[in-house]
């Protein structure tokens, strides 16, 4: 007993000595303007200025952390929080309580990006020009969905109406050259390159990273024009629950008093669904486990677009040298209105993270999406879509040598025709993608960040549009290897080089090199030069489609198509100083064997045929401006110019040469309250392009196949949002989309009508968001 008592006293003495040798430092982190606590901010700390043996912790519900360090030592810290400027500093040995205030990063210059190089680095240090859009800022601006947010915020990005939904184009290239990624992973289920953009939950996005130019070296086929990577939210505090809802005015009331007795009752009811949205985002973080759940429901009503005047077609001598002069034909019949579909959809995503230590990280994820598309055709059917996506990712650090990254990704998409009165549906489209990937990354060699990877893509499509309206399956398989090295020679120079090789049974072996250089003479300036080769293999649809749409038009693929290649060159300069940021980037993009869909007419029927063009050249310039001034205002502006070469004097590309966006934000803060007013505008310049048709020439007494010039006028869409935030817990937004009530009055001629913005005019809305967990905790504290 005496021996045990002695050991107990010795243990108590050692603990007392250890406690005396430690000191506790309390740090409180607040938002500068509202003086509200910042919950979930990451605090890195160490007792050496070089941040050796760094440790991490996060702030609690009161924005506080308590750190234990060796007594008599100075504490060094770095504080990071999404949407705020990082803070560095130190705590002298004699202080144990400090307060840190963080200001909002309105220019987003400190965001960490991964898309341009597949490795994490601050955007201003990236060798590739990357535009970052904050998810929270997009919601604050009042955008109802991702496609409208991108249209208003991204230079040179155009969203136009086509026969099957919305189509995105960028820098003169259509959606087939713009690769959308969800957390770095591909998705399937596209129509002519366009996904169901409604599947993207804007309230579940942490940020959007946009890299323009050929990125095939890192991302393979379809990345020949741009990459848009949607980075999902991840909980950073023990409990994070956000909920909201949005109500907007209807686009158009088509059926005022539908009755269940009506034969077309379901059609009438679905055509006039209210414009409503509701969402829930719930995150839980406990020790090594993190869970993130996001659910979103949305519905909108269908409406018509009307043409103000009859069709007018001008057959120009420029496009048709054999004509004696320009010929203009004016239609005698009023064009039927174009119906814009209404939608109803729900999406849900779940992600689990297990991170037991700094060397191991495992993620399991899954999502589902269901959508009904209600058209204005009284044929007793409407379209249904569904998507299931799942995968697993693992990362393991092998000492300080390298990191192993393994991922297995699956995406399954189906489309149906659903009868409106009976419980019956017919599958018309089935697509799936399977993509395993293995990469090794290393920073072992001083100044070098190396990535080596291999991935395999299996793409399979089943459709009734290949062979005589029978459900037929086609597939493509590709295996690709890639290598990239980013070398930071010194604080002024950075060099990024890489190459990707591709092999498929259908198209053989290909390779795509890239080289990018960044020079920073000082902390304000950065100059970037980039060359990269892109490629895009023909899609399954471009190869095998053979579909006649009710005798109105036909879409034809060609099994003789060759992969297209392009050479992308860019040179840009960037300047940052005291709340001012400007980036100007000039580029040229040269295509060989570019795959293009071209309209032809045979026996008075339009045919849309995929073919290889011998060459096509695009060049342009883009500018981005951000300026935070007078402590309350932020000005954002972009401008894009693109010139697309003609084919034998014929302009087949439908992109507008000029596009611009602008916004002015005003923010007023006082403790526990924030007022933010955002006025934004998007301008799209005039479009001119040629479409094949047939025309009678009176002087020759015969008809010819000839091209007519389609002209769509310049338009601007302007939005206004007023956002009030109370105690950083409740946010109320009042706004008007398309405040100046623009409605397109010219739909184009013939098949070219599908090139207009799908807007019915001005529409008001109200949006309410709640930080549920903070509200509940505040009420408990008051009790």
Q: What is the pLDDT of residue 752?
A: 53
The pLDDT confidence band at residue 275, using thresholds 50, 70 and 90, is very high
Q: How far is residue 646 CA from its own chain's centroid?
A: 30
Mean pLDDT, to the nearest integer, of 593-615? 75
pLDDT above 90 covers a percentage of the chain that reads: 36
Tokens read off for 383: 């379209």
Taking each continuous run of H as one helix and of E as one strand, the counts in the chain are 7, 46
What superfamily does domain 112-338+365-378+388-782 belong to in CATH?
A: TonB-dependent receptor, beta-barrel domain (2.40.170.20)
Q: Which residue has the higher pLDDT, 779 or 290?
A: 290
The pLDDT confidence band at residue 213, using thresholds 50, 70 and 90, is confident
Backbone conformation region of residue 360, classed left if phi is above 0, alpha if psi is from -120 to 50, else beta: beta
pLDDT tens string 582-591: 999 999 999 8
* Full DSSP string of 281-334: EEEEEETTEEEEEEEEEEE---EEE--SS--EEEE-TTT-TTSSS-EEEE-SSP
Q: What is the pLDDT of residue 10?
A: 58
Q: Is the pLDDT of residue 709 over 90?
A: no
Q: Is the pLDDT of residue 783 over 60?
A: no
| The most confident of 211-215, 301-305, 360-364, 545-549, by mean pLDDT | 360-364
**Residue 696 exposure: Cα atoms within 13 Å on the Cβ side:** 4
For residues 494 and 528, give the distance between their C-alpha atoms in angstroms, rounded to a whole number.
Answer: 9
Q: Are strands 22-31 and 97-102 parallel, antiparallel or unpaired?
A: parallel
pLDDT tens string 328-345: 888 888 888 888 889 999
Tokens read off for 512: 């795509």
Mean pLDDT, to the nearest integer, of 356-375? 94
The pLDDT confidence band at residue 782, using thresholds 50, 70 and 90, is low
Rg (CA), the chain: 29
Q: What is the pLDDT of residue 745?
A: 85
The pLDDT confidence band at residue 105, using thresholds 50, 70 and 90, is confident
CA dihedral (260, 261, 265, 269) in degrees, to 10, reads -30
Q: Which of 30-39, 364-373, 556-565, 723-732 has the lowest average pLDDT?
A: 30-39
Listed by start position, the domains of the chain span 21-102, 112-338+365-378+388-782
pLDDT tens string 623-642: 999 999 998 999 999 999 99
For residues 281 and 201, give the distance between their C-alpha atoms in angstroms, rounded to a whole number.
Answer: 10
Tokens read off for 615: 């060459």
pLDDT tens string 404-444: 999 999 999 999 999 888 878 888 889 999 999 999 999 89
Cα angle for residues 110, 25, 34 (degrees, 5° grid):
50
Q: Is the pLDDT of residue 224 over 80?
A: no
* Distant-in-sequence contacts of 700-706, Cβ < 8 A, 24+ apart: 700/324, 704/320, 704/322, 704/323, 705/600, 705/601, 706/315, 706/319, 706/320, 706/323
pLDDT tens string 31-67: 877 777 887 788 888 888 877 778 888 887 788 888 8
Q: Is the pLDDT of residue 97 over 80?
A: yes
**Residue 20 exposure: Cα atoms within 13 Å on the Cβ side:** 6
Listed in sequence order, the residues at least 6 apart from 654 whose beta carbon sits closer than 8 Å to its beta carbon are 160, 169, 687, 689, 752, 755
Look at residues 156, 169, 173, 231 and name the one whose alpha carbon lies nearest to residue 200: 231
The pLDDT confidence band at residue 319, using thresholds 50, 70 and 90, is confident
Q: Is the pLDDT of residue 305 over 90?
A: no
Across-strand partners of 485? 450, 497
Q: What is the pLDDT of residue 283?
A: 93
Q: What is the pLDDT of residue 560?
A: 86
How many other C-beta atoms lie within 10 A of the C-beta of residue 340?
23
Q: Which residue has the higher pLDDT, 3 or 175?
A: 175
Q: What is the pLDDT of residue 518?
A: 93
> Is 2.40.30.10 the CATH number for 21-102?
no
Look at residues 57, 55, 68, 63 and name the one whose alpha carbon lies nearest to residue 24: 68
pLDDT above 70 covers a percentage of the chain that reads: 91
How many other C-beta atoms lie within 10 A of the C-beta of residue 489?
10
| The most confident of 214-218, 272-276, 743-747, by mean pLDDT | 272-276
| The most confident of 166-180, 442-456, 746-760, by mean pLDDT | 442-456
Q: What is the pLDDT of residue 687?
A: 87
Q: Is the pLDDT of residue 190 over 90?
A: no
Look at residues 108, 113, 18 and name the one whose alpha carbon lies nearest to residue 71: 18
For residues 120 and 109, give the distance between their C-alpha atoms in angstroms, rounded to a whole number.
Answer: 14
For residues 119 and 130, give the distance between their C-alpha atoms in angstroms, rounded to a whole number.
Answer: 13
Mean pLDDT, to the nearest integer, of 770-783? 71
Tokens read off for 169: 């184009």
For residues 503 and 508, give the distance between their C-alpha atoms in angstroms, rounded to a whole number.
Answer: 5
pLDDT tens string 653-703: 788 899 999 999 999 988 889 999 999 999 989 988 888 788 889 888 898
Q: What is the pLDDT of residue 562?
A: 87
Q: How far is residue 535 CA from its own chain's centroid?
A: 21
* Distant-in-sequence contacts of 558-561, Cβ < 8 A, 24+ apart: 558/609, 558/610, 558/611, 561/595, 561/610, 561/611, 561/612
Is residue 584 within 8 Å of 596, Cβ to Cβ?
Answer: no
Mean pLDDT, to the nearest integer, of 209-214? 81
Q: Is the pLDDT of residue 116 over 70?
A: no
Mean residue pLDDT of the chain comes to 85
Q: Is the pLDDT of residue 747 over 60?
A: yes
Backbone conformation region of residue 371, classed left if phi is above 0, alpha if psi is from -120 to 50, else beta: beta
SS (H, E, C) 71-121: CCCCEEEEEECCCECCEEEEECCCCCEEEEEECECCCCCCCEECCCCCCCE
Q: What is the pLDDT of residue 73?
A: 83
Q: Is the pLDDT of residue 17 over 60?
A: no
For residues 153 and 758, give the distance between their C-alpha atoms in angstroms, rounded to a whole number.
Answer: 18
pLDDT tens string 481-529: 999 999 999 989 999 999 888 777 777 777 888 899 999 999 899 999 9
Q: What is the pLDDT of residue 552?
A: 63
Q: What is the pLDDT of residue 641?
A: 94
Strands (DSSP E) along 546-657, which ranges? Answer: 546-549, 553-556, 564-577, 580-602, 605-629, 633-644
Q: What is the pLDDT of residue 12?
A: 59
CB-based burial label for 644 (10 Å; 0-12, 13-18, 19+): buried
Mean pLDDT, to the nearest integer, of 352-357? 94
Q: Which of 41-50, 227-236, 658-667, 712-721 has the lowest average pLDDT?
A: 41-50
Tokens read off for 479: 């295996």
For residues 694 and 706, give the distance between their C-alpha atoms in angstroms, rounded to a whole number.
Answer: 5
């Amino acid at each position: 007993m005496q021996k045990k008592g002695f050991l107990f006293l010795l243990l108590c003495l050692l603990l007392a000595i250890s406690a005396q040798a430690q000191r506790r430092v309390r740090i409180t982190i607040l938002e500068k303007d509202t003086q509200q606590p910042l919950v979930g901010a990451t605090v890195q700390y160490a007792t050496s200025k070089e941040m050796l043996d760094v440790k991490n912790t996060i702030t609690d519900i009161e924005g506080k952390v308590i750190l234990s360090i060796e007594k008599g030592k100075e504490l060094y810290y770095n504080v990071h929080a999404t949407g705020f400027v990082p803070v560095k500093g130190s705590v002298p040995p004699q202080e144990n309580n400090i307060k840190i205030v963080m200001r909002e990063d309105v220019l987003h210059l400190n965001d960490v990006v991964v898309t341009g190089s597949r490795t994490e680095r601050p955007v201003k240090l990236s060798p590739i020009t990357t535009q970052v859009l904050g998810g929270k800022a997009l919601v604050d601006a009042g955008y109802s969905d991702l496609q409208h947010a991108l249209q208003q915020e991204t230079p040179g990005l155009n969203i136009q109406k086509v026969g099957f939904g919305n189509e995105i184009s960028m820098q003169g290239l259509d959606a087939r050259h713009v690769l959308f990624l969800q957390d770095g992973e591909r998705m399937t289920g596209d129509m002519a390159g366009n996904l169901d953009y409604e599947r993207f939950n804007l309230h579940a996005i942490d940020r959007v990273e946009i890299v323009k130019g050929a990125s095939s070296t890192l991302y393979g086929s379809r990345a020949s024009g741009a990459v848009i990577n949607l980075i999902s939210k991840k909980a950073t505090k023990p409990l994070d629950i956000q909920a909201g809802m949005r109500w907007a005015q209807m686009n158009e009331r088509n059926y005022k008093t539908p009755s269940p007795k009506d034969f077309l009752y379901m059609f009438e009811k679905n055509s006039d669904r209210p414009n409503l949205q509701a969402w829930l985002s719930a995150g839980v973080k406990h020790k090594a486990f993190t869970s993130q759940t996001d659910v979103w429901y949305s519905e909108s009503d269908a409406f018509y677009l009307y043409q103000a005047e009859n069709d007018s077609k001008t057959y120009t001598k420029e496009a048709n040298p054999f004509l004696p002069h320009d010929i203009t034909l004016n239609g005698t019949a009023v064009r039927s209105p174009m119906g814009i579909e209404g939608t109803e959809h729900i999406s849900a995503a779940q992600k689990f993270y297990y991170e037991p230590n700094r060397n191991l990280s495992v993620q399991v994820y899954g999502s589902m999406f269901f959508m009904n598309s209600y058209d204005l055709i009284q044929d007793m059917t409407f379209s249904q879509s569904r998507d299931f996506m799942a995968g697993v990712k693992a990362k393991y650090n092998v000492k300080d040598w390298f990191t192993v990254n393994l991922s297995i990704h699956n995406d399954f998409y189906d489309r149906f025709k659903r009868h409106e009165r009976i419980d019956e549906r017919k599958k018309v489209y089935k697509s799936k993608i399977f993509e395993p990937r293995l990469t090794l990354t290393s920073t072992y060699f001083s100044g070098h960040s190396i990535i080596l990877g291999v991935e395999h893509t299996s793409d399979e499509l089943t459709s009734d549009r290949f062979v005589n309206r029978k459900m037929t399956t086609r597939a493509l398989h590709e295996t690709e290897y890639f290598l990239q090295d980013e070398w930071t020679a010194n604080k002024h120079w950075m060099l990024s080089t890489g190459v990707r090789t591709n092999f498929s049974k259908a198209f053989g072996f290909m390779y795509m090199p890239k080289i990018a250089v960044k020079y920073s003479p000082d902390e304000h300036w950065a100059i970037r030069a980039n060359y990269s080769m892109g490629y895009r293999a023909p899609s399954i649809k471009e190869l095998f489609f053979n579909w006649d749409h009710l005798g109105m038009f036909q879409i034809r693929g060609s099994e003789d198509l060759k992969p297209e290649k392009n050479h992308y060159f860019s040179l840009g300069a960037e300047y940052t100083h005291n709340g001012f940021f400007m980036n100007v980037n000039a580029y040229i993009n040269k295509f060989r064997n570019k795959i293009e869909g071209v309209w032809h007419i045979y026996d008075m029927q339009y045919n849309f045929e995929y073919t290889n063009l011998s060459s096509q050249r695009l060049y342009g310039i883009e500018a981005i401006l951000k300026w935070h001034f007078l402590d309350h205002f932020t000005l954002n502006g972009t401008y894009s110019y693109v010139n697309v070469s003609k084919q034998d004097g014929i302009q087949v590309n439908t992109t507008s040469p000029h596009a611009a966006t602008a916004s002015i934000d005003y923010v007023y803060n006082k403790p526990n309250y924030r007022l933010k007013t955002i006025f934004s505008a998007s301008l799209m310049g005039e479009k001119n392009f040629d479409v094949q048709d047939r025309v009678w020439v009176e002087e020759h007494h015969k008809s010819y196949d000839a091209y007519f010039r389609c002209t769509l006028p310049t338009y601007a869409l302007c939005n206004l949002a007023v956002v009030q935030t109370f105690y950083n817990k409740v946010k109320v937004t009042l706004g008007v989309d398309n405040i100046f009530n623009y409605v397109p009055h010219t739909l184009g001629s013939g098949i070219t009508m599908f090139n207009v913005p799908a807007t019915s005019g001005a529409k008001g809305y109200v949006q309410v968001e709640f930080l549920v967990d903070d509200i509940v905790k505040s009420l408990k504290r008051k009790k």
